[in-house]
Amino acid sequence: MDAFLAGMAILLDPYMLGVILAGTLLGIIVGALPGISGSTTTALLLPLTVTMTPGAALAFLGSIYCAANFGGSITAILINTPGDPSASATAFDGYPMAKRGEAGKALGISAISSAIGGIFSVFVLIVAAPLLARMAYEFGPPEYFGLAVFGLSMVAMIGGESQVKNLMSACLGVLLATVGLDLTTGVERFTFGVYSLSDGIEFVPVLIGLFAIAEMLEQATQHGVVQDYIRLTAVKLPTLADFRKCAKSIAISSGIGTFIGALPALGATTAAMICYNESKRWSKYKDEFGKGAIEGVAGPEAANNAAVGGAMVPTLALGIPGSTTTAIILAGLIVQGVRPGPHLFTEQPALLYIVFSSMLAANLLYLVLGLGAAKLFARLTLVPAAYLWPAVFVLSMVGAYAPNQSMSDIWTVLIFGVVGFLFRRYGFSPAPLIMGLVLGKMVEESLKQSLLIFDQNWLMFLTRPIVVGLFAVTLIGLFAPFLARAWTRTRKRWRTSPAGDLP
């Protein structure tokens, strides 16, 4: 209890509060800028934190991490460009909402669900970290294979015109995921001798192209078409009714997001993708998804912020980072002379409570800032396209180039801009492609690793209870619609047959 109070007391210290505020503001800004993600920022600022105390350094890096995951949704909603990869699922419904003139509502629900997801995961972190961390040991390649198959099995469900087109789009994503050095053979595939392809296709430029550039091209075709925004509603915040509608999706996503975040190999992006699907699955208004469903914003946003607390679990409890950003936070801690691990909980509980209270504070701060500024940000949708989109284009290019200082990333953006534009023209959704790209690599690698572990014996998968469970859920998910249809058909026949059927 003493340690807990000590941790909370940092919130009374103006210096610590200043550090948290600075981290949160910085996090929102870099999160919102496409290309500059929370992980890049924490890496660049790492040397700066060396001169801080361990507590202040943790609070600073932690607040950037929390806020960046929220910041990413701002640009995803307003200009269809995820500012952070973890916000890509937010764009699926956030942008249609903004186009409909409900930007304020989308931004508001994003801030609220992000904060709820984030705070939930911070509590889980502090209560269950040592327990939850042990679970990571149960997750080997076979379990990740089961999880990836489960994730991929749901692509047909996400928005878009037809399931066939979704599957085609997902296959393209999986195909793109095979580019680069193959982990299990050490052989380069589809790289054509280009260095920048040897580590695979960079994810961020693909996102910027598929969303921002494709949207710009789309806008260009609508030249002369009068945009009739419902100006007054653009700045309206979500109502209590909106929140009630999202409550289930936020609750489900906070839980799943924390769990996925806690798995060392998976991060906020995967969490948001899977929770987008789960929000749709459990929603009463499935038809709205892809066209501006408010639950479609709440789900992924709750999930990606829940994944933040989740990712801190193995980082602090096992010393094994749960994401890129936590890997950098871990490096920062080690430089400070603090080596996380199970002993941290007994030896330095005060430091843990500093993490806890600073992440809690960061989540509340961006909620206030986010809600307060939502009205301001929402006005961006009222800027005429002729000014807005060229600015977005410049920002996208700078964002794509900055992290690796490589021209090939610019080419990736442009190529995927055209791909994204053609996708829209012919009724394909970019969502399955992104899922394919994220999960495709995982499916392949974990399958190959598993088979090496199992001495190439496929049946060994069935000896792992978690895998069997995940396979079962996948099968149910795949066949439930057919079974449900068959069931209603037989029931209908039962009811209609006595009255005589049509020939």
Partner 1 sequence: MTDRMTASRLTRRAFAAGSTAALGLALAPRARAQDKFPSRVVEVVTHAGVGGGTDITARMMMVHAAGVFQTEFAVVNKVGGSGAAALAYANSRPRDGYTILLITQTHLLTMLQGKAPVKYEEIVALARATDDPQVVMVGKNSPYKTAQDLLAAAKTKQLKFGATQLGGVDHLAIYGFAKKSGIQQPTAIPFRGGGDIVINTVGGNIDVGMLNYAEAESQIKAGDVRALLTLAPKRLGPLPDVPCSKDLGLDANYSTVRGFVALKGVPEENLKTLEQGLIKAMQGQMYASYIETSGQSPDSVVGRAAWQKQLDDFNAEGLDALKGLGLVK
48, 262, 133, 136 alpha-carbon torsion, rounded to 10°:
-120
End-to-end Cα, the chain, rounded Å: 77
| Half-sphere exposure at residue 110, Cβ-oriented, CA atoms within 13 angstroms | 43
Between 238 and 322, whose beta carbon lies closer to partner 1? Answer: 322
**How many residues line the site for partner 1 (CB under 8 A)?**
67
Residues in contact with partner 1, shown as a per-residue x/- string from 212 to 251 under the rule CB under 8 A: ----------------------------------------
Q: Which is nearer to partner 1, 21 or 181 (CB)?
A: 181
Q: Which 3-state string (H, E, C) describes 308-368?
A: HHHHHHHHHHHCCCCCHHHHHHHHHHHHCCCCCCCCHHHHCHHHHHHHHHHHHHHHHHHHH
Q: What would the two tokens of residue 29 be?
A: 């800004």
Shortest Cβ distance from residue 350 to partner 1 (Å)? Answer: 8
What is the closest distance, in whole angstroms, from the C-beta atom of residue 406 to partner 1 in the complex? 7
Smallest distance from partner 1 to CB 18, Å? 10
Task: Tell me which of 137, 190, 479, 487 binds partner 1, using CB under 8 A.
Answer: 137
Work out which of 327, 367, 413, 419 binds partner 1, going by CB under 8 A: 327
* CA pair distance 416, 215, nearest whole angstrom: 11
Contact residue for partner 1 among 452, 468, 476, 483 (CB under 8 A):
452
User: Pick from 389, 313, 399: which is nearest to 356 by CA?
Assistant: 313
Q: Can you say how many angstroms the Cα of residue 10 is from the centroid of all Cα atoms in its chain?
A: 30
**Residue 46 or 167: which CB sits closer to partner 1?**
46
Long-range pairs for 320-326 at CB < 8 Å and ≥24 separation? 320/136, 320/264, 321/264, 322/261, 322/262, 322/263, 322/264, 322/266, 322/267, 323/39, 323/261, 323/267, 323/268, 324/39, 324/267, 325/38, 325/39, 325/42, 325/65, 325/68, 326/65
Site for partner 1 in 248-277 (CB under 8 A): 264-265
- Please identify, using beta-carbon distances, which residue of 301 and 445 lies nearer to partner 1: 445
Please, what is the minimum distance in Å from the beta carbon of residue 316 to partner 1? 10
Which of 163, 178, 233, 404 forms a contact with partner 1 (CB under 8 A)? 404
Q: Which of 232, 244, 284, 337 binds partner 1 (CB under 8 A)?
A: 337
Alpha helix stretches (DSSP H) within 222-323: 240-262, 268-281, 294-318
Residue 68 CB neighbours (<10 A): 35
- Shortest reach from residue 457's CB to partner 1, in Å: 13
Could you tell me the CA-to-CA distances from 201 to 156, 176, 267, 311, 313 in Å, in that order?
Answer: 23, 7, 18, 24, 29
> What's the rounded Cα separation, in Å, for the pair 411 and 416?
8
Subset of residues 167 to 186 that bind partner 1, contact rule: CB under 8 A: 181, 183-186
- 189, 231, 343, 485: residue in contact with partner 1 (rule CB under 8 A): 343
Fill in the per-residue mask, 32 to 51: x = in contact with partner 1 (CB under 8 A), - = not in contact: -------xx-xxx-xx--xx
Interface region with partner 1, contact rule CB under 8 A, candidates 89-97, 166-174, 197-205, 411-419: 197-205
Is 474 near partner 1 (CB under 8 A)? no
Given the rule CB under 8 A, which residues bind partner 1?
5-6, 9-10, 12-13, 15-16, 39-40, 42-44, 46-47, 50-53, 55-56, 136-142, 181, 183-186, 195-199, 264-265, 318-321, 324, 327-328, 331, 334-337, 339-344, 350, 403-406, 445, 449, 452-453
